[in-house]
Amino acid sequence: MAESFPVHRTCPFAPPPEYEGWRDQAPLVRGETSRGEVWLVTRHAEAQQILAGTGFSTDPRTPGHPSAPDTATMTPEEIAAAHQLSVGFFIDHDPPEHTRFRRLLISEFTVRRVREMRPGIQRLADELLDDMTAKGDEGELVEAYGLALPSLVICRLLGVPYADHDFFQSRTRMMVDAGADERARRSATYEIRSYLADLVTDVVAAPEDDLLGRLATGGKLTAEELTGVAFLLLVAGHETTANMIPLSAYTLLRNPDQLAALRENPGGWPAAVEELLRYHSIVDWVAFDRVAVEDQEIGGQLVRKGEGVYVLGASANRDERAFERPDDFDVQRGARHHVAFGYGVHQCLGQNLARAELEIALRTLFERLPGLRVTATEEELGLKYGKAIFGLTRMPVAW
């Protein structure tokens, strides 16, 4: 019998409770979604095997893909618009097309390039905390810091006016809301894409020495492809990190012994960031949808060509076969083999930047505000239990 999917979290510090039973049951279990049956991948080894394997496609246009557009509910104009949206959105492309885009962008997100960005990220974090503390001894961490910092970083990276951040944040939230009306999600997507198409027109006309300007002058991408790349980077570049910053701060405040260890040894922040990424796995399955393009055996189970797959990242990252005491939060664990950023050729291109933002945001927050405390109950924090990307909607604090 297939398991109902998706299921929701019920605790801010754990994946959905069903995952443990599924993981004990088998590395792959059958799941029943609103659009049919899929395989749910529950364990770490099989998650890596599928995410790294060539026998699976990430392209929603591949027959059987679990996230294929529901063309039956779309007008011809919407179908054409959906096709246009796929241009340059290379996270949904397979090699060699995916490889072509990734090679053009990889130099923008190397460890060295991100190291050069760190002083700028540090200044932004300090300025945001200056603004918060200037208003008194209380504040709201999600909007004022968690959302603001990655939004400022990605705006500067792409040359997007920060004055427009409310626009793209609201549309991005709608896009990733798995429970929202499908037509509303598509409308939000089209609005962001149209906005970025205008931005790219300006960049092509007068390119500067920034990410989009360098891509535009390279002559290897069309304006439509460049728009798709900007769209992907904008959506992926702030929503996940924006959710992780306040959720991580809340977790550390709930674990004062772990926070004390970091205050005593600031060199432990990189390992703490890895543990926070593993522990929360806020993206879970939404970015790890695949379809088999050939018959193959995974974890002793035959997966046939055309069968859809969801890799459950939050389950794989709690797999006791890969992590000792996986349900314990341990900032000294240093488990970089987690799959919070995916695995294989589609592993998150911006992971170095995300790590730097998280480390700087959290270290600076607790250094600047040593008396930080949450002033709301857990029920008042607005936890996104039913959302595709987990996080907090608000976090009132005082210091």
| pLDDT tens figures, 204-251 | 999 988 899 999 998 799 999 999 999 888 888 778 999 999 999 999
Q: Are residues 311 and 41 in contact, defined by beta-carbon separation less than 8 angstroms?
A: yes
Whole-number Å distance between alpha carbons of 367 and 374: 16
Helix (H, G, I), strand (E, B) or coil at 150: helix
- pTM (two decimals): 0.92
Q: Are residues 323 and 294 in contact, defined by beta-carbon separation less than 8 angstroms?
A: no
Q: Are residues 59 and 65 in contact, defined by beta-carbon separation less than 8 angstroms?
A: yes
pLDDT at 114: 96
pLDDT at 28: 98
Q: Are residues 90 and 97 in contact, defined by beta-carbon separation less than 8 angstroms?
A: yes
Terminal Cα-to-Cα distance of the chain (whole angstroms): 51
pLDDT at 282: 95
Domains of the chain: 3-398 (1.10.630.10)
pLDDT at 178: 55
Q: Are residues 137 and 380 in contact, defined by beta-carbon separation less than 8 angstroms?
A: no
pLDDT at 180: 65
Give, for 309, the enclosing helix (H) or strand (E).
Answer: strand 308-311
Tell me which residues of the chain have a pLDDT lower than 70: 173, 176-180
Q: What is the dihedral of CA 74, 80, 83, 88, to 10 degrees?
A: -130
